[in-house]
A and B are shown apart, each in its own frame.
Chain A
Amino acid sequence: GEDVEQSLFLSVREGDSSVINCTYTDSSSTYLYWYKQEPGAGLQLLTYIFSNMDMKQDQRLTVLLNKKDKHLSLRIADTQTGDSAIYFCAEKVGTGRRALTFGSGTRLQVQP
């Protein structure tokens, strides 16, 4: 079945790197996503990775995928106070309905 899990909370200091982790259970996941949600707003797509990739880098963001362990991580370099938000991991499984399964979100708090 589909299940995506994330830790609830992460606190870092401004300028440090943040690493947000996610585990998923469905080995047939084809795409994995990271979304950001700021207070009172909708979800904003940050980045995604295809299941045949191990790593993807996009400016300050680095996504690492370990398919063997079904583990996905999002690293934010030089974390800024504007990065404070909830980060959701999501997976797309197979070629069916195209809907995503979301984790419960990790709240990132960046302290000045």
Chain B
Amino acid sequence: NAGVTQTPKFRVLKTGQSMTLLCAQDMNHEYMYWYRQDPGMGLRLIHYSVGEGTTAKGEVPDGYNVSRLKKQNFLLGLESAAPSQTSVYFCASSGPATYEQYFGPGTRLTVT
């Protein structure tokens, strides 16, 4: 039981490049989330999903897109990376009957 996993762990992009971050969970959770963590700002919600095939915007969705084609996977895409998207990205999931969220180890993204 791996919990929540994220790939890649690190990535460096040039401005304008695109990439996809993958999150996978093996707990059969309905709900999945993408956060970004910046120094001194805690975690901010980018997008979330309440089930397979559904997605919704969080606090800071601009510049990101997401997809939830399979229940266990939640993808975060950056179509045209900007230096302001340099951050650590965390994926989380939670089940239908509980509210606590389980986090992946994070992806550290640098955009130059």
* A-to-B contact residues, CB < 8 Å: 4, 8, 30-31, 33, 35, 40-45, 48, 88, 92, 97-100, 102-105
Contacts and interface: CB of A to CB of B under 8 A. Distances in A.
**What range describes how many residues of B lie at the interface?**
20 to 34
Contacts of B35: 102
Contacts of B61: none
B45 interface: yes
Nearest to A35: B103
B106 to A, nearest CB: 5
A89 to B, nearest CB: 9
Instruction: Across the A-B interface, give the 5 residue pairs with the lowest CB-CB distance, nearest first.
Output: A42-B103, A102-B42, A104-B42, A102-B43, A43-B103
A17 B4 CA distance: 32
B106 A100 contact: no
Interface in B50-106: 50, 56, 58, 90, 92, 94, 99-106
24 contacts: A31-B99, A33-B100, A40-B106, A42-B4, A42-B105, A43-B90, A45-B100, A45-B101, A48-B99, A48-B100, A88-B42, A97-B56, A98-B31, A98-B48, A98-B94, A98-B99, A99-B33, A99-B45, A99-B48, A100-B101, A102-B43, A102-B44, A103-B42, A104-B40
